[in-house]
Amino acid sequence: MSDLADALWHSGWYRFARPLPSPNFGPRPAGAQIDLIVLHSISLPPGQYGGDEVQQLFTNRLDWEAHPYFEKIRGIEVSAHFYVRRNGELWQFVSCDDRAWHAGASSWRGRSNCNDDSVGIELEGLEGETFENAQYETLASLCPAIAQAYPTAFIAGHEHIAPGRKQDPGAGFDWRLLREQLGWDGAMFPAATLDA
């Protein structure tokens, strides 16, 4: 790890994220290459922003009876490495050295089980709706920081690694803007996003 990466990371925890450890993680397989960033979108209840329900879900503290929608997801144990609020605020739930439970059944670059070798970033939002400039600004600093610490070669949406099963972050996500902000080679992105 470079000196800059050492300054930004401590045991897989990013210096500029607000830590809130989740119990929903496990070890990565031996020899895992952490070379994929997966972007998701989430809001609880769907389409409602600003509450603490996502943090509660990722730490197994969500009150299942607080909203009728929560009955549909009662008992699930999930997490992501990062969560980006609408205002750009960044939370971290799992060390990037560990395996967060964000991708489920998935496949990318000829490998299945993307949880094994990816970093999951949840954006507060709803698939198909747009995201805030502050969220793109956070991604524009977070993704390069991840790439300084891990051998990042790809970035994709949940919809790309689990097509037909997932649709997030969806059509409202501006892949062109993210590519411009990151300045990364187009080969790192899903082909479907290059015309976006």
Adjacent-strand bridge partners of 27: none
Active site residue 122: yes
Q: Which residues contact 168 (CB under 8 A, 6 or more apart)?
A: 39, 40, 41, 42, 127, 157, 158, 159
Q: How far does Cα 82 stand from its chain's mean position?
A: 6
Count the residues in the chain: 196
Give the chain's radius of gyration (CA, Å): 16
Q: Which of 122, 124, 127, 159 is catalytic?
A: 122
Rounded distance between C-alpha atoms, residue 106 and residue 112, angstroms: 6
DSSP 30-96: TT----EEEEEEE-SSTT--SSSHHHHHHTT---TTSSGGGGGGTT-----SEEE-TT--EEE-S-T
Say if residues 49 and 41 touch (Cβ distance below 8 Å). no
Judge residue 3's burial from the number of C-beta atoms within 10 Å of its C-beta, 0-12 exposed, 13-18 middle, 19 or more buried. Answer: exposed
Q: Is 101 helix (H, G, I), strand (E, B) or coil?
A: coil
Q: Catalytic positions, please?
A: 122
